[in-house]
Structure 1
Amino acid sequence: MNTVSLGMGAESVYFAQPYNIDAVGFYFTDLADYQDKAAKAVDRFGFPVEEFELQYIDGDYAELFNALSVSQASLADWFELVDEIDDVDDRYVIACHLAGLGVAVGEIAGQWDDYWLYRDSAADYAAELVADCYELPQQLEYYIDYERMGRDMVLNGDIVEIERELILIGG
Protein backbone atom coordinates (compact mmCIF):
# COMPACT_ATOMS: atom_id res chain seq x y z
CA MET A 1 0.00 0.00 0.00
CA ASN A 2 1.43 3.39 -1.00
CA THR A 3 0.95 6.57 1.00
CA VAL A 4 1.54 10.22 0.24
CA SER A 5 2.77 12.71 2.80
CA LEU A 6 0.68 15.83 3.29
CA GLY A 7 1.80 19.11 4.76
CA MET A 8 0.17 18.43 8.15
CA GLY A 9 2.33 15.35 8.54
CA ALA A 10 -0.61 13.20 7.56
CA GLU A 11 -0.52 10.29 5.21
CA SER A 12 -3.78 9.82 3.37
CA VAL A 13 -4.86 6.54 1.86
CA TYR A 14 -8.13 6.02 0.01
CA PHE A 15 -9.94 2.98 -1.37
CA ALA A 16 -12.10 2.77 -4.48
CA GLN A 17 -14.74 0.08 -3.98
CA PRO A 18 -16.40 -0.89 -7.29
CA TYR A 19 -20.18 -1.09 -7.36
CA ASN A 20 -19.68 -4.07 -9.68
CA ILE A 21 -19.51 -7.13 -7.42
CA ASP A 22 -17.37 -8.95 -9.98
CA ALA A 23 -14.54 -6.41 -9.70
CA VAL A 24 -11.79 -5.83 -7.15
CA GLY A 25 -11.18 -2.39 -5.64
CA PHE A 26 -7.90 -0.61 -5.22
CA TYR A 27 -6.05 1.72 -2.88
CA PHE A 28 -4.88 5.12 -4.09
CA THR A 29 -3.16 8.19 -2.66
CA ASP A 30 -3.78 11.03 -5.12
CA LEU A 31 -5.82 11.95 -8.17
CA ALA A 32 -3.31 10.71 -10.73
CA ASP A 33 -3.01 7.39 -8.90
CA TYR A 34 -6.81 7.05 -8.84
CA GLN A 35 -7.23 7.93 -12.51
CA ASP A 36 -4.52 5.48 -13.56
CA LYS A 37 -5.93 2.58 -11.55
CA ALA A 38 -9.57 3.37 -12.42
CA ALA A 39 -8.75 3.38 -16.13
CA LYS A 40 -7.24 -0.11 -15.78
CA ALA A 41 -10.00 -1.55 -13.57
CA VAL A 42 -11.94 -4.42 -15.11
CA ASP A 43 -14.31 -7.02 -13.69
CA ARG A 44 -13.66 -10.77 -13.88
CA PHE A 45 -15.25 -10.84 -17.36
CA GLY A 46 -12.90 -8.17 -18.71
CA PHE A 47 -15.47 -5.34 -18.80
CA PRO A 48 -14.36 -1.90 -17.60
CA VAL A 49 -15.48 -0.79 -14.15
CA GLU A 50 -16.96 2.70 -14.26
CA GLU A 51 -18.41 3.44 -10.83
CA PHE A 52 -16.72 3.35 -7.44
CA GLU A 53 -17.58 4.20 -3.87
CA LEU A 54 -14.68 6.20 -2.44
CA GLN A 55 -13.58 5.52 1.11
CA TYR A 56 -11.11 7.36 3.30
CA ILE A 57 -8.89 4.71 4.88
CA ASP A 58 -6.12 6.53 6.74
CA GLY A 59 -5.03 10.10 7.40
CA ASP A 60 -6.01 13.29 9.20
CA TYR A 61 -8.84 14.42 6.93
CA ALA A 62 -11.41 11.64 7.45
CA GLU A 63 -13.98 13.87 9.15
CA LEU A 64 -13.91 16.38 6.30
CA PHE A 65 -13.90 13.69 3.59
CA ASN A 66 -17.01 12.07 5.07
CA ALA A 67 -18.79 15.38 5.74
CA LEU A 68 -18.33 16.35 2.09
CA SER A 69 -19.45 12.94 0.80
CA VAL A 70 -16.61 12.94 -1.72
CA SER A 71 -17.45 10.98 -4.86
CA GLN A 72 -15.89 10.40 -8.25
CA ALA A 73 -17.48 13.63 -9.45
CA SER A 74 -15.88 15.72 -6.69
CA LEU A 75 -12.56 13.89 -6.28
CA ALA A 76 -10.53 16.46 -8.25
CA ASP A 77 -12.01 19.26 -6.13
CA TRP A 78 -11.19 17.24 -3.00
CA PHE A 79 -7.49 17.02 -3.84
CA GLU A 80 -7.38 20.75 -4.68
CA LEU A 81 -8.97 21.48 -1.31
CA VAL A 82 -6.45 19.25 0.49
CA ASP A 83 -3.60 21.14 -1.20
CA GLU A 84 -5.03 24.44 0.07
CA ILE A 85 -5.57 23.10 3.60
CA ASP A 86 -1.99 21.85 3.93
CA ASP A 87 0.16 23.80 6.40
CA VAL A 88 -2.80 25.88 7.60
CA ASP A 89 -4.43 24.14 10.58
CA ASP A 90 -7.21 26.72 10.85
CA ARG A 91 -8.39 25.95 7.34
CA TYR A 92 -9.19 22.36 8.25
CA VAL A 93 -11.43 23.44 11.13
CA ILE A 94 -13.13 26.06 8.96
CA ALA A 95 -13.59 23.54 6.12
CA CYS A 96 -15.20 21.03 8.50
CA HIS A 97 -17.61 23.70 9.71
CA LEU A 98 -18.52 24.75 6.17
CA ALA A 99 -19.00 21.12 5.12
CA GLY A 100 -21.38 20.71 8.05
CA LEU A 101 -23.35 23.66 6.71
CA GLY A 102 -23.65 21.91 3.34
CA VAL A 103 -21.11 23.95 1.38
CA ALA A 104 -19.88 21.97 -1.63
CA VAL A 105 -16.26 20.82 -1.79
CA GLY A 106 -15.50 23.12 -4.74
CA GLU A 107 -16.84 26.20 -2.93
CA ILE A 108 -15.05 25.91 0.43
CA ALA A 109 -11.72 27.40 -0.63
CA GLY A 110 -13.47 30.55 -1.84
CA GLN A 111 -14.66 31.24 1.73
CA TRP A 112 -11.34 31.08 3.66
CA ASP A 113 -11.20 34.85 4.14
CA ASP A 114 -14.75 35.03 5.52
CA TYR A 115 -13.86 33.12 8.71
CA TRP A 116 -11.17 33.07 11.36
CA LEU A 117 -10.58 31.23 14.62
CA TYR A 118 -10.28 32.75 18.06
CA ARG A 119 -8.44 30.55 20.55
CA ASP A 120 -10.00 31.41 23.87
CA SER A 121 -13.43 31.43 25.49
CA ALA A 122 -16.52 33.22 24.25
CA ALA A 123 -16.34 35.42 27.35
CA ASP A 124 -12.77 36.44 26.53
CA TYR A 125 -13.82 37.22 22.95
CA ALA A 126 -16.70 39.36 24.23
CA ALA A 127 -14.33 41.24 26.57
CA GLU A 128 -11.83 41.80 23.77
CA LEU A 129 -14.58 42.96 21.41
CA VAL A 130 -15.88 45.49 23.96
CA ALA A 131 -12.34 46.73 24.66
CA ASP A 132 -11.67 47.15 20.93
CA CYS A 133 -14.93 48.95 20.19
CA TYR A 134 -15.52 51.07 23.29
CA GLU A 135 -13.51 53.11 25.71
CA LEU A 136 -15.23 52.29 29.00
CA PRO A 137 -14.37 53.86 32.32
CA GLN A 138 -12.63 51.34 34.55
CA GLN A 139 -15.36 51.60 37.19
CA LEU A 140 -18.00 50.50 34.65
CA GLU A 141 -16.06 47.45 33.44
CA TYR A 142 -16.73 45.61 36.69
CA TYR A 143 -20.47 45.62 35.93
CA ILE A 144 -20.28 43.99 32.51
CA ASP A 145 -21.00 40.26 32.51
CA TYR A 146 -18.71 38.98 29.75
CA GLU A 147 -19.64 35.34 30.45
CA ARG A 148 -23.29 36.08 29.68
CA MET A 149 -22.40 38.28 26.72
CA GLY A 150 -20.23 35.53 25.22
CA ARG A 151 -22.93 32.92 25.81
CA ASP A 152 -25.51 35.18 24.14
CA MET A 153 -23.22 35.65 21.14
CA VAL A 154 -23.03 31.85 20.78
CA LEU A 155 -26.79 31.40 21.22
CA ASN A 156 -27.55 34.17 18.71
CA GLY A 157 -25.22 32.61 16.14
CA ASP A 158 -22.85 35.59 16.07
CA ILE A 159 -19.99 33.22 16.86
CA VAL A 160 -19.72 29.43 16.79
CA GLU A 161 -18.10 27.55 19.63
CA ILE A 162 -16.32 24.68 17.84
CA GLU A 163 -14.93 23.25 21.06
CA ARG A 164 -13.86 24.52 24.44
CA GLU A 165 -11.82 27.68 23.90
CA LEU A 166 -12.02 27.53 20.10
CA ILE A 167 -14.42 30.01 18.55
CA LEU A 168 -15.26 30.41 14.86
CA ILE A 169 -16.01 33.96 13.81
CA GLY A 170 -17.35 35.17 10.50
CA GLY A 171 -19.71 34.09 7.82
Structure 2
Amino acid sequence: MTIRLHAQPYDLAATGFYFETLDEYQSKAAKLRNDYGERVEEFEIQFIDGDRIECDLAQAIGINQADLGQYFDAVDSWDVHDKTVVILAVGECGYRFEASTQPSDFDMDIYHVETMRELAEQFVDEGLFGDIPERLQFYIDYDAIARDLAVDYSEAEVAGTRLICRAA
Protein backbone atom coordinates (compact mmCIF):
# COMPACT_ATOMS: atom_id res chain seq x y z
CA MET A 1 0.00 0.00 0.00
CA THR A 2 1.23 3.47 -0.75
CA ILE A 3 1.40 6.22 1.82
CA ARG A 4 -0.57 9.39 1.30
CA LEU A 5 0.37 12.51 3.23
CA HIS A 6 -0.87 16.08 3.18
CA ALA A 7 1.20 19.25 3.48
CA GLN A 8 -0.96 21.86 5.21
CA PRO A 9 0.59 25.35 4.96
CA TYR A 10 0.77 27.47 8.08
CA ASP A 11 0.10 30.39 5.72
CA LEU A 12 -3.68 30.85 5.76
CA ALA A 13 -3.58 32.40 2.28
CA ALA A 14 -2.33 29.16 0.71
CA THR A 15 -3.85 25.78 -0.10
CA GLY A 16 -2.13 22.53 0.85
CA PHE A 17 -1.47 19.49 -1.29
CA TYR A 18 -1.38 15.70 -1.11
CA PHE A 19 1.76 13.70 -1.88
CA GLU A 20 3.06 10.13 -1.79
CA THR A 21 6.84 10.51 -2.18
CA LEU A 22 9.56 12.85 -1.01
CA ASP A 23 10.25 13.97 -4.58
CA GLU A 24 6.58 14.79 -5.10
CA TYR A 25 6.54 16.79 -1.85
CA GLN A 26 9.68 18.74 -2.78
CA SER A 27 8.38 19.50 -6.26
CA LYS A 28 4.96 20.69 -5.09
CA ALA A 29 6.36 22.62 -2.12
CA ALA A 30 8.83 24.49 -4.36
CA LYS A 31 6.03 25.61 -6.68
CA LEU A 32 3.43 26.53 -4.06
CA ARG A 33 2.53 30.20 -3.73
CA ASN A 34 -0.02 31.88 -1.50
CA ASP A 35 -2.81 34.16 -2.73
CA TYR A 36 -0.34 37.07 -2.84
CA GLY A 37 2.24 35.26 -4.99
CA GLU A 38 4.68 34.68 -2.14
CA ARG A 39 6.45 31.35 -1.70
CA VAL A 40 5.06 29.10 1.05
CA GLU A 41 7.80 27.61 3.22
CA GLU A 42 6.30 26.05 6.34
CA PHE A 43 3.92 23.10 6.42
CA GLU A 44 2.28 20.81 8.90
CA ILE A 45 2.66 17.26 7.59
CA GLN A 46 -0.44 15.11 8.12
CA PHE A 47 -0.72 11.35 7.67
CA ILE A 48 -3.77 10.61 5.50
CA ASP A 49 -3.63 7.00 4.32
CA GLY A 50 -1.38 3.94 4.54
CA ASP A 51 -0.72 0.89 6.68
CA ARG A 52 -1.32 1.23 10.42
CA ILE A 53 2.34 0.66 11.21
CA GLU A 54 3.34 3.63 9.01
CA CYS A 55 0.63 5.75 10.67
CA ASP A 56 1.89 4.79 14.13
CA LEU A 57 5.48 5.56 13.07
CA ALA A 58 4.46 8.99 11.76
CA GLN A 59 2.62 9.72 15.01
CA ALA A 60 5.44 8.49 17.26
CA ILE A 61 8.16 10.53 15.58
CA GLY A 62 5.95 13.58 15.12
CA ILE A 63 6.51 13.69 11.38
CA ASN A 64 7.47 17.13 10.08
CA GLN A 65 9.35 18.81 7.25
CA ALA A 66 12.73 18.21 8.88
CA ASP A 67 12.41 14.43 9.17
CA LEU A 68 10.21 13.73 6.14
CA GLY A 69 13.09 12.20 4.15
CA GLN A 70 14.07 9.96 7.00
CA TYR A 71 10.44 8.91 7.46
CA PHE A 72 10.19 7.81 3.82
CA ASP A 73 13.54 5.97 4.12
CA ALA A 74 12.28 4.18 7.24
CA VAL A 75 9.03 3.18 5.56
CA ASP A 76 10.93 1.73 2.60
CA SER A 77 13.85 0.06 4.36
CA TRP A 78 12.80 -0.92 7.91
CA ASP A 79 10.87 -4.12 8.55
CA VAL A 80 7.86 -4.31 10.89
CA HIS A 81 10.03 -5.18 13.91
CA ASP A 82 12.34 -2.19 13.32
CA LYS A 83 9.37 0.16 12.98
CA THR A 84 7.84 -1.31 16.15
CA VAL A 85 11.08 -0.76 18.09
CA VAL A 86 11.23 2.91 17.09
CA ILE A 87 7.52 3.46 17.73
CA LEU A 88 7.85 2.03 21.24
CA ALA A 89 11.18 3.70 22.06
CA VAL A 90 10.16 7.15 20.85
CA GLY A 91 6.41 7.04 21.40
CA GLU A 92 6.26 5.16 24.71
CA CYS A 93 9.66 5.32 26.40
CA GLY A 94 10.54 8.95 25.77
CA TYR A 95 13.55 8.60 23.48
CA ARG A 96 14.12 11.27 20.84
CA PHE A 97 13.88 10.75 17.10
CA GLU A 98 16.77 12.49 15.38
CA ALA A 99 18.23 12.63 11.88
CA SER A 100 20.53 9.68 12.52
CA THR A 101 18.07 7.50 14.48
CA GLN A 102 18.15 3.80 13.66
CA PRO A 103 16.22 0.94 15.30
CA SER A 104 19.52 -0.54 16.51
CA ASP A 105 20.01 2.58 18.68
CA PHE A 106 17.42 1.24 21.11
CA ASP A 107 17.69 -1.81 23.35
CA MET A 108 14.04 -2.80 23.68
CA ASP A 109 12.52 -5.99 25.05
CA ILE A 110 9.22 -6.62 23.27
CA TYR A 111 6.76 -9.35 24.22
CA HIS A 112 3.76 -10.27 22.09
CA VAL A 113 1.33 -10.74 24.95
CA GLU A 114 -1.76 -8.69 25.76
CA THR A 115 -1.52 -8.26 29.52
CA MET A 116 1.03 -8.12 32.32
CA ARG A 117 -0.53 -11.28 33.74
CA GLU A 118 0.22 -13.14 30.49
CA LEU A 119 3.81 -11.90 30.71
CA ALA A 120 4.02 -13.10 34.32
CA GLU A 121 2.74 -16.54 33.25
CA GLN A 122 5.24 -16.62 30.39
CA PHE A 123 8.14 -15.75 32.72
CA VAL A 124 7.12 -18.50 35.16
CA ASP A 125 6.77 -21.03 32.30
CA GLU A 126 10.23 -20.06 30.99
CA GLY A 127 11.75 -20.70 34.41
CA LEU A 128 12.63 -17.10 35.25
CA PHE A 129 11.75 -17.83 38.88
CA GLY A 130 13.58 -21.17 38.91
CA ASP A 131 12.12 -24.64 38.96
CA ILE A 132 8.76 -24.60 40.68
CA PRO A 133 7.42 -28.00 41.71
CA GLU A 134 4.18 -28.90 39.95
CA ARG A 135 2.28 -29.23 43.23
CA LEU A 136 3.09 -25.56 44.06
CA GLN A 137 2.29 -24.03 40.67
CA PHE A 138 -1.36 -23.62 41.59
CA TYR A 139 -0.39 -21.27 44.43
CA ILE A 140 1.55 -18.75 42.35
CA ASP A 141 0.04 -15.28 42.50
CA TYR A 142 0.37 -14.21 38.87
CA ASP A 143 -1.47 -10.96 39.55
CA ALA A 144 1.13 -9.94 42.15
CA ILE A 145 3.94 -10.76 39.73
CA ALA A 146 2.13 -8.73 37.05
CA ARG A 147 1.92 -5.71 39.39
CA ASP A 148 5.64 -5.98 40.06
CA LEU A 149 6.40 -6.24 36.33
CA ALA A 150 4.36 -3.08 35.68
CA VAL A 151 7.11 -1.08 37.41
CA ASP A 152 9.60 -1.81 34.61
CA TYR A 153 7.36 -2.83 31.70
CA SER A 154 4.74 -0.88 29.73
CA GLU A 155 1.66 -1.97 27.85
CA ALA A 156 1.34 -0.50 24.37
CA GLU A 157 -0.50 -0.95 21.11
CA VAL A 158 1.28 -0.82 17.76
CA ALA A 159 -0.64 -1.25 14.51
CA GLY A 160 -3.56 -2.79 16.38
CA THR A 161 -1.42 -5.34 18.23
CA ARG A 162 -1.11 -5.23 22.01
CA LEU A 163 2.47 -5.55 23.27
CA ILE A 164 4.43 -5.35 26.49
CA CYS A 165 7.78 -3.57 26.27
CA ARG A 166 10.74 -2.50 28.35
CA ALA A 167 13.62 -0.23 27.46
CA ALA A 168 16.68 -2.17 28.59
**TM-score (ref. length: structure 2):** 0.74
- Give the one of 91, 104, 111 matched to 2:96: 104
Give the corresponding residue for 2:64. 71
Partner AA of 2:154 in structure 1: V
* Contact 2:92-2:156 at 8 Å conserved across structures: no
Partner AA of 1:53 in structure 2: E
**Structure 1 residue 63, shift from structure 2 partner:** 4.2
Which whole-Å CA distance do the structure 2 matches of 1:159 and 1:145 have between them? 18
CA deviation string 1:73-131 (max 9, x = no partner):
11112222323455x2x555544333243333343623465232222542232233234
Call closer, same or farther: CA 1:49–1:166 in 2, change over 3 Å: closer
**Matches for 1:82-121 after TM superposition, within 5 Å:** 82-86=75-79, 88=80, 90-98=81-89, 99-106=91-98, 107=101, 109-111=103-105, 114-121=108-115
**TM-score (ref. length: structure 1):** 0.73
Higher relative contact order (CA 8 A, sep 6+): 2
* Contact 1:42-1:49 at 8 Å conserved across structures: yes
**Structure 1 residue 149, shift from structure 2 partner:** 0.9
Name structure 2 gaps, 5 residues minimum.
Answer: none
Q: Secondary structure at the match of 2:66?
A: helix
**Structure 1 residue 144, shift from structure 2 partner:** 1.4
Which whole-Å CA distance do the structure 1 matches of 2:114 and 2:14 have between them? 51
Q: CA RMSD in A?
A: 2.7
Identity percentage of aligned residues? 32
Call closer, same or farther: CA 1:103–1:84 in 2, change over 3 Å: farther
Which whole-Å CA distance do the structure 1 matches of 2:28 and 2:109 have between them? 37
Runs of 4+ in 1 over 6 A off after TM superposition: none
Give the corresponding residue for 1:20. 11
Mean CA deviation greater in 65-74 or 55-64: 55-64
Give the corresponding residue for 2:155. 161
- Give the one of 30, 36, 42 matched to 2:33: 42
* Contact 1:91-1:112 at 8 Å conserved across structures: no
Partner AA of 2:122 in structure 1: E
Which whole-Å CA distance do the structure 1 matches of 2:66 and 2:105 have between them? 21
Partner AA of 2:127 in structure 1: D
